[in-house]
Structure 1
């Protein structure tokens, strides 16, 4: 094998190692945790292999350069060399050629406008605009496993969707916490098989006698596909003549509304009128009531218990019925703010900063109060804040809810966000209808016992 072929093989191996590292990081990110000990060991091994491959590639490239320089010198002084055309630098040294990555069709710094091209296609069928839109589709779907709903619609630029869906306000905290899979194409309902009754074992009474035989029973649960959509009528003047990016202004607002709506559906969907069944309306979850007769307290002694004891009860119910540990607590920001305001008998805060020294603290405050990552811990579990949890529940319509759950037991499927521009019925007023939609499915009923919902009058107090 010549040196150039060997370099190509080494580069392929390096790419495989980088992909393996990326997969480890992506899996940990989707699970909202750091690398495990085993994953860290594998990550370090991949990193060491990449360094070794880099050294070997550099060594071989230097040898190639030296060989080509020697060959060039020999040609220059060979008989008849002066009569031959001088080779170009690229011919002498193919390794010097630069690979230039083609820029994205619709980048933040680019001159192409996504919505303007949608408008051109809708109005005149502009072939160049359609080519750009189709090229953008390829770019955005290159790393995806599904092209759900690709019937003539176009996928918005990644820089727009990534920036505004992920960081939408209110944030889709709960929706990003559960296990999310790509939505398969060509289906309107996802069926999940479920074991409803297991096998059994028993001690064999005597030799050569019948052993325990209990047949497994199965059933299935379904997750209907639902549609989340929104639109905006925009003047053609704004699309074509505006000096600002209408892509960013309109699509970011639609994406923000989509993110909030999807998160709310996962939490409070009714299961009817096209909505999925949300966590707070799901039957069979563990119910924990916290209704103290006196002043609600985070910790201490109180008739009817404290919020901390309610969380402990919620954890216990999951352990006792799901036989596995919960992974997260999700509460409204006002509930965590109330927790932060609680003090002990010496007026010291009960939830203390994690960086400081704390003795038997029931909860810890994280380094940052950010919208997507855990803000701290309570009873040893990470706490996530979701402003989409209702605050108008209970008999007094003033309660929120606290959810304790094993988040990886809850499944969701989400398709590509799609956008379109339509001039029908708006042509006589020089307007376009700009539409955003996607398809999704949600099923929290795989293990209802892995979810505990805390309710009661103690959750109507605020700071």
Structure 2
């Protein structure tokens, strides 16, 4: 067992001992408050508590000793890297796994995170058992998911009164397929880990290339153009939401905290996705080049040619930097309108895996589950209801976005996409504050390639029968 595992194991054992000790302290208080005090039982419990206190003191001293040893090893490692940059990290820097002890919060026993949510709220009302369970969970997360989680927790602490808690990973995974508007486009983007520090992501972007030309004559100067680039700075954004929970809701409500936290998580993901599409200046609608479709009586047969037109612009912008993984992103009302259409015309050129005499294919997937279908030219469709439907002069238009999915870039925190902070900030009114937040950054502008189909041809669709 390496140092990190040993320290984590000791801290987990301390959390368990502390929970036992606090339970005994509660029993003692209840016994002493009784009309008839059972002195023998009191002495027995006092002895047990004293024994646990002695064990906790020994374990605390042992953890301090191991922390100091680890700090010395870290210092030696840093010095070694200065002298020898190729030196390997100590073995305890590798991610460890907890397999011997049962996790505090488990998907099979608490699939919706009710126990975790209740402990978050209750811990800040003075519930020592909840505090001990959260402490043990933090140790488990640090060991299970690596030292980076410890760094995320440290960065989460803004003041001494605020404690950063890492949400159990299975709850984060559970919230990925969102109800409401969710994050279909965000999930389709090219994902990157957000850097651990800083409030900007910086990318170099070439603006002037070199040149090659035929030499005019022997010994004549050959073509020369200096390569140049510029810095693309992308702001790190913070999405956050809060809710004050009443003490009555915590004490007597049924799944109150779970419902609130789940809704906050949903709103967080939906906001990130909406900003990717609609944010002023940098959202996809504001950086994509328009392909106009104007028609007082729009039809799918007339709309479809605009899609290859837009994709031709995407390819012309990317050239050999294109991945070939183009996508179309549209509102659900537009996708169903296209499915509703009837036709007697088909593309002249057939496409792989597209049935002859159909305008594309519907995969019959539910909302937010990825690719919903494919267009006649083979372009996958992402349906996203964060696309605005109040655009245009009549405030009744939506848009269709086209681009290379690998050039829609999204950076998110790799350690804990969501943190929950709780503090009893409104004690006088018996309130507990819950906050969900996360950091992210995005850009669609590494190459100015995206296209959008927009215009009066994309007004509120009319569904007609045969």
TM over 0.5: yes
Q: For residues 326 and 423 of structure 1, do their structure 2 counterparts lie closer, same or farther at Cα, with a shift above 3 Å needed? A: same
The separation in 1 between residues aligned to 2:197 and 2:203, in whole angstroms, is 16
SS in 1 for 2:396: coil
Please tell me whether residue 203 in structure 1 is matched to residue 214 in structure 2.
yes
Q: Distance in 1 between matches of 2:355 and 2:404?
A: 27
Aligned equivalents of 2:141 and 2:135: distance in 1?
10
The alignment status of 1:400 with 2:398, answered yes or no, reads: yes
TM-score, normalised on structure 1? 0.68
Report the Cα distance in structure 2 between the residues aligned to 1:364 and 1:258, rounded to whole angstroms.
32
1:375 aligned counterpart, secondary structure: strand
Out of 166, 173, 178, the residue aligned to residue 189 of structure 2 is: 178
What TM-score does the superposition give when structure 2 sets the normalisation length? Answer: 0.67
1:413 and 1:287 map into 2 onto residues whose CA distance is 26
Separation of aligned partners in 2, 1:404 and 1:326: 11
Root-mean-square deviation (CA, aligned residues, Å) is 2.9
Q: CA deviation at 1:245?
A: 3.9
Q: Distance in 1 between matches of 2:262 and 2:453?
A: 34
Contact 1:168 1:260 in 2 (8 A): no
Query: How many angstroms apart in 2 are the aligned matches of 1:419 and 1:314?
Result: 42
Q: How many pairs were matched up?
A: 343
How far the C-alpha of 1:217 sits from its partner, in A, is: 0.8
- Give SS of 1:372's match: coil
- 1:432 aligned residue: 432
Segments of 5+ residues of structure 2 without an aligned counterpart are 1-97, 158-162
Q: How far 1:368 moved relative to its partner?
A: 3.1
Q: In the TM superposition, what whole-angstrom CA distance separates every residue of 1:73-124 from its partner, at most 9, and x where no partner exists?
A: xxxxxxxxxxxxxxxxxxxxxxxxxx96433221241598223333344343
Given the alignment, which residue of 146, 155, 170 partners 2:166? 155
Q: Distance in 2 between matches of 1:421 and 1:107?
A: 21
Q: Deviations over 1:299-320 (max 9, x none)?
A: 2xxxxxx111110110111112
| 1:278 equivalent in alignment to 2:283 | yes
1:232–1:211: structure 2 CA closer, same or farther, 3 Å change rule? same
Instruction: Describe the SS at the equivalent of 2:274.
Output: helix
- Structure 2 counterpart of 1:269: 279
Q: CA deviation at 1:191?
A: 1.3
Deviation at 1:130, TM superposition (A): 4.6
Q: 2:263 aligns to what SS in structure 1?
A: helix
SS at match of 2:234: strand
Bigger shift: residues 188-197 or 323-332: 323-332
Q: Which contiguous aligned blocks of 4+ residues in structure 1 show a shift greater than 6 angstroms?
A: 143-146
Map 1:271-420; keep pairs closer than 5 Å. 271=281, 277-282=282-287, 285-293=288-296, 295-299=297-301, 306-323=302-319, 324=322, 325=324, 327-345=326-344, 358-378=355-375, 379-415=377-413, 416-420=417-421
Mapping 1:93-172, distance limit 5 Å: 101-108=100-107, 109=109, 113-124=115-126, 126=128, 128-138=132-142, 141-142=145-146, 147-148=151-152, 149-151=155-157, 152-172=163-183
Q: Runs of 5+ in structure 1 lacking a partner?
A: 1-98, 272-276, 300-305
Question: How is 1:206-245 mapped onto 2 (pairs within 5 angstroms)?
Answer: 206-242=217-253, 244-245=254-255
CA distance in 2, matches of 1:105, 1:253: 23
CA contact (8 A) 2:290 2:451 kept: yes
CA offset digits 1:340-368 (Å, max 9, x no partner): 1111259xx99xxx9x9932433122243
- Written as runs of structure 1 = structure 2, the 5 A alignment for 1:31-46 is none
CA contact (8 A) 2:118 2:258 kept: no
Residues 100/257 of structure 1: CA separation in 2 closer, same or farther (3 Å cut): closer
